[in-house]
Structure 1
């Protein structure tokens, strides 16, 4: 991803033990590398990556906490139906990315199977979840660079592969 985007890694220092303690599971190693290198922001003006952001727009943990709270209020219905939002000790989805077209990119996490992180993706206009047994970075790379990676590949739109870090402004809910 660094080579694809020409990005200079940020080298963000992260207390992974605290984050993983709150989640109740370890996160994928390649996601941690992406997080430390990029923080949170937008690839190709279209693909939102949750990492760390001084605001809340691209903050992975802030977004997860909001999702858990919202899903718990829905009772018998879930915003990620037929799944649930992952809560510590359980099984469910954790969103790590999305697009301006409301596509969603998540991991299916099962606390009883740490280390198994299939990517589940849902295209807003198609509905239904697609499962990909690949790493976060491979999925993201294919979205950005593989025009044949449908329905999620965006390379055919010639949007480039640049990365723009998050705004850092908590009042700004949209990327700049």
Structure 2
């Protein structure tokens, strides 16, 4: 991803033990590397990446907390936004969003606390269609979205948007929340 975007790694310090302690599971190693190199922000002016950010827009943990509270709010009924799944709750099994697009595509992991280290990527296109299952790393999925025009329905290379990255550091008004 660094080579693809020409990005200079930021070396962002992240307290992974605190984050993983709150989640109750370790996060994928390649995702942690992406977070430390990029932080949260936007690839190719259209793909939002949730990492660590001073603002809420691109902050992975803040976005997960909001999604979990909404998913657990019984006043909203019992339909999950990620149906047929649920938002991951510590010790359970569910989805955690790590990215999205301006077209409302969603990129998540399916996390099972009983199977730490197994993080398939689940993605759903903007039309609310079915979830697509990918047995690949976060960085491989993100790379294919940005660079592989044949990676359908999620590849954006066909639109010739370039492969840039714009950090979202501490700019809630400039970010695109999920």
Superposition TM-score, scaled by structure 2 size: 0.95
Pairing 1:114–2:116 present? yes
Q: How many aligned positions are there?
A: 175
In structure 2, the residue matched to 1:130 is: 132
Q: Equivalent of 2:100, from 98, 101, 106?
A: 98
Report the Cα distance in structure 2 between the residues aligned to 1:15 and 1:166, rounded to whole angstroms: 19
Report the Cα distance in structure 1 between the residues aligned to 2:124 and 2:43, rounded to whole angstroms: 18
Could you list the per-position Cα deviations for residues 74-119 of structure 1 after superposition, in whole angstroms to 9, with x for gaps in the alignment? 4521000000000000000000000000000000000000000000
Which blocks of at least 5 consecutive residues in structure 1 are unaligned?
A: none
Between 50-59 and 112-121, the greater mean CA deviation after superposition = 50-59
Runs ≥4 in structure 1, deviation > 6 angstroms?
Answer: none
Which blocks of at least 5 consecutive residues in structure 2 are unaligned?
A: none
Report the Cα distance in structure 1 between the residues aligned to 2:120 and 2:56, rounded to whole angstroms: 25
Where in structure 2 are the equivalents of 1:2-13 lying within 5 Å? 2-13=2-13
In structure 1, the residue matched to 2:70 is: 70
